[in-house]
Amino acid sequence: MLSKIILAVLALLSVSGCAIWDAGYTENKPVRRYSVPSVDKVPITYNVSMKSERDDVIALPDIESLRKNIERALKETGMFSEIHYGAKGGADSYHIEFSFHQGGTSIEDSMAAGIVAGYTLLLLPVWEVVTFDGTAVLSLQGKPIYSTAKAEEMRCVIWLPLAPVGIFMNSWSVWHYLEKGSVNALCEAIAQEHKKRFLKDSNVVEVIEK
């Protein structure tokens, strides 16, 4: 029984011995919500692309997850009458093109770090960096009128003393936090540009949640 407990603890340490956190370049906060007269609301479409330099990044956001987060954030602004996912089109099209890119440490360097960590039984700290960049381009009738970009970085340290930290600050929790923060920041910037351009004369009221 004791041997099984020890093996379970060792397995947990080996998995969670990697502590991950975001660099904090993009502030993670909710989008601002507004009450907009129905007559001043307009429909909008959007689409999403995602390019990853590696296919072995655990819990990396995918198109479906990004799409759901974007739609949630745009709805929360309260500025649009309809929000549809799909390609832009039509003479009156109002569209946002979201693009995300994952880069950072190459798979070769990551494998080398893993080998060092394995041979030293996680007693020698090694690390790697994963970047996550996002852009959003707002277009009207097929012509770009505004763009914004956000950059973030994930830092991963593999070291046995960080095992307890890694239980909580792991790929799943950090990627979820980073993805939501990046999407919120892009949608917030788009919403503020929309408000400045098209709602100057509208009775727009910010909704403050207590």
Which DSSP string corresponds to 91-132? TT-EEEEEEEEEEES-HHHHHHHHHHHHHTTT-S-EEEEEEE
Whole-angstrom distance, CA of residue 161 vs CA of residue 159: 6
Q: Which residues pair with 139 in a beta bridge?
A: 95, 144
Cα of first residue to Cα of last residue in the chain, in angstroms, is 51
Summarize pLDDT for 57-98 with one digit per residue, the tens: 777 889 999 999 999 999 999 999 999 998 766 666 899 999
> Residue 101's domain is classified under what CATH number?
3.30.160.100
Residue 199, domain extent: 33-120+130-151+173-207
Q: Is 158 inside any structural domain? A: no
Summarize pLDDT for 162-206 with one digit per residue, the tens: 766 666 667 778 888 889 999 999 999 999 999 999 998 888 998
Q: Is 181 inside any structural domain? A: yes
Q: Is 4 inside any structural domain? A: no
Q: What pLDDT band is residue 14 in, cutting at 50, 70 and 90? A: very low
Q: Is 6 inside any structural domain? A: no
Look up the pTM and report it.
0.84
Q: Is 61 inside any structural domain? A: yes
Count of domains observed in the chain: 1
Which helix (DSSP H) or strand (DSSP E) does residue 185 occupy? helix 171-198
Phi-psi sector, 73: left (phi>0), alpha (psi -120 to 50), beta: alpha
Q: Is 3 inside any structural domain? A: no
Q: What pLDDT band is residue 15 in, cutting at 50, 70 and 90? A: very low
Q: Is 14 inside any structural domain? A: no
User: Do residues 145 and 155 touch, judged by C-beta distance below 8 A?
Assistant: no
Query: In this structure, what token pair is assigned to residue 122?
Result: 């996680």
